Amino acid sequence: MTFIPPRIALGHHKTSGKIELLRYATKYNIIGGFSKLLKYFINNYKNQYSEIITYADLKWSDYKNNVYEKNGFTCDHISAPGYSYYDQHTFKQYSRYSFRKQALKTKFPAIYDEKLTEFQIMDKTKYLRIWDCGNAVYKLKI
């Protein structure tokens, strides 16, 4: 179980009293493992944080029947779908952050136009936009 300060890119402020549960992974299915680690974190850091936030990728997660709901988290909202880019010639998928408009100026100088949006520029390339299912955003008051 890994915790980080909330990511500013997701609209959070580091001074908010929140902490983000970034990852939970196990090699084996350990019954009660998540709840034991969460309880340990809360008991040892409750004076530093007032809320834990986390995200569940809806491609893989059931937003009503999951480890978060079973451990007291509430679903705050469902985020809008995000996207990535897929190179249909090399069969590789890339984060959208690699293709922000400022980066496109150097990646595609022949087709870059300041008047066009990122989507409009990328639509002129060999890359396809792939949409995901969004995320369920969970919160737990400590």
Instruction: Grade residue 65 by pLDDT with cuts at 50, 70 and 90.
Output: confident
Section 12-37 average pLDDT: 87
The predicted structure's pLDDT at residue 10: 60
Segment 102-120 mean pLDDT: 96
Tell me the CB-side half-sphere exposure of residue 86, using CA atoms within 13 A.
8
List the beta strands (DSSP E) in 61-114.
74-78, 83-87, 92-95
Q: What is the pLDDT of residue 9?
A: 59
Helix (H, G, I), strand (E, B) or coil at 50: coil
At residue 56, the pLDDT reads 94
Is 72 in contact with 140 (CB distance < 8 Å)? yes
Residues 6+ apart with CB under 8 A from 120: 113
Domains of the chain listed by start with CATH number: 2-80+134-141 (3.40.630.30), 83-130 (no CATH)
Label residue 12 by pLDDT band (50, 70, 90): low
Its pTM stands at: 0.79
Cβ atoms of 30 and 66 within 8 Å: the answer is no
Q: What is the pLDDT of residue 13?
A: 60
